[in-house]
Amino acid sequence: MSSRIFIPGLQSVLRIQRVYRSFSISVPTQTTGGVKKLGVIGAGQMGLGISFVAALVSKVPVVLVDSSEDSINKSLGFLDKLLQKDVAKGKYSQDDANQVIKRIEPTTKFDAIFAADFIIEAVPEITPLKCEIFGKLAAGARSDTILSTNTSSISITKIAAAAKGAEDRVVSTHFMNPVPVQKGVEIISGLQTASETVDRAVAFVKAMGKIPSVSTDSPGFIANRILIPYINEAITCLETGVGKKEDIDSIMKNGCAMPMGPLALADFIGLDTCLAIMNVLYTETADSKYRPAVLLQKMVDAGWLGMKSKKGFYDY
């Protein structure tokens, strides 16, 4: 069987360029928790962001795997431009930027990931795809390698079950988008996850300059269990005529001190992603309060997915 895994639907990182330009990173004092090499699967915006921060802040070498050479080239091209702009602004030196590029090893060969002792999967929210990947990781990675997923909604217990023989080493490190800007990371354990696995994940996340929050495997975990229903309710308010989109976003920004209005945030996340998470919450809890807004489903059906499609609640 070929070890090559097709990773479909990777989003272009270029659409978050303006957000990435404004970030700043403080170098942590923690060690890397024993991580000498990181593996990242998926060169989309999340995979690139994780690779970038690991190479810059924790200073570990990164193997970045993607089945699409075009996706890799686009991501690394974006990263190079970002680094050059930050060097010009004095955020760090040219040598620092060169070292970041040097530490990231891009490849389309899936087997290359087996050299890492901490692996983070960052592919689209497709359960069979993730399970296939974790089955291959369990078979090929070393017996002490941590196998982590960046999933935002899929059960960690289900993903771990696909990693036959390595179930206790599967955990979730759910980074927030965009990775260089957002400090928080959810560490989620499945039913099978060993406490040592969680401890090592927490240590490495801290070494990346992030602030971990630990939770158990529950639909939506913490962040999306709260955030996505909030967005869904804002869409329902728009759908039922409670307020115009500008007014809904304005009151949450200017009245509730949110950095971004919920409809603009939905566009940034991707309406298809919001719908997928709401469907997980609704299906797995059987609670009617998680029913996706009718307008959300219609917009996804129309292909109006937000920033990624140039049209959502706003035009881009």
289, 151, 150, 301: which is closest to 230 by C-alpha? 289
Reported as a single tens digit per residue, the pLDDT across 25-84 is 444 445 676 899 999 999 998 999 999 999 999 999 999 999 999 999 999 999 999 899
Calculate the alpha carbon distances from 270 to 196, 264, 300, 307 in Å: 34, 10, 9, 7
Euclidean distance between CA atoms 97 and 173, whole angstroms: 25
> Is residue 150 part of an annotated ligand binding site?
no
132 class by beta-carbon count within 10 Å (0-12 exposed, 13-18 middle, 19+ buried): middle
Q: Which tokens hold the place of 272?
A: 């298809």
The pLDDT value recorded for residue 9 is 38
Specify the pLDDT at position 26. Answer: 46
Q: What is the pLDDT of residues 114-152, one digit of tens each?
A: 999 999 999 988 999 999 999 999 999 999 999 999 998
Enumerate the H helices of the chain as residue ranges.
17-20, 45-53, 69-88, 94-103, 127-140, 156-162, 195-207, 223-239, 245-254, 262-269, 271-285, 294-301
Annotated catalytic residue, options 152, 153, 172, 189: 152
- What is the overall mean pLDDT for the chain? 90
Active site residue 186: yes
Q: For the chain, which domains are there? A: 38-216 (3.40.50.720), 224-309 (1.10.1040.10)
The SS3 of residue 218 is coil
pLDDT confidence of residue 30 = 52
Is 47 annotated as ligand-binding?
Answer: yes
Over range 190-210, report the average pLDDT.
Answer: 97
Share of the chain above pLDDT 70, in %: 90
- 313 and 264 Cβ atoms separated by less than 8 Å: yes
Does the pLDDT value for residue 16 go beyond 60?
A: no
The pLDDT score that the predictor gives to residue 74 is: 92
pLDDT at res. 15:
45
Model pLDDT, residue 164? 98
Is 152 annotated among the ligand-binding residues? yes
